[in-house]
Amino acid sequence: MSSTTVWVTPENKSRLAALKRHPKESYNDVIARLIDMAVDDEPLSEEAIRGIEEALEDIRAGRLYTEDEIEREFGAKE
């Protein structure tokens, strides 16, 4: 394994240290875990993206209901 020096601010080093699962966990392991969390192995499908875009357009156009309106509509609230 090769090594590289990476400069981080003292604040970020403290934040990385706080993310250690145990005191002897390496910063490399912490960073690898963060990278794994950031990478999405299952990106949204085109269909899902279209659905989100349509929902956002509905919101912008004011085509939405409050929680109270929905509860009254379906008889969940009197």
pLDDT, one tens digit per residue, over 11-51 is 999 999 999 999 999 999 999 999 999 998 898 999 999 99
pLDDT range class, residue 68, cuts 50, 70, 90? very high
d(CA 2, CA 45): 37
Neighbours of 72 (CB within 10 A): 13
Domains and CATH numbers, the chain: 1-39 (1.10.1220), 42-78 (no CATH)
User: How many angstroms separate the most distant Cα atoms in the chain?
Assistant: 67
pTM for the model stands at 0.56
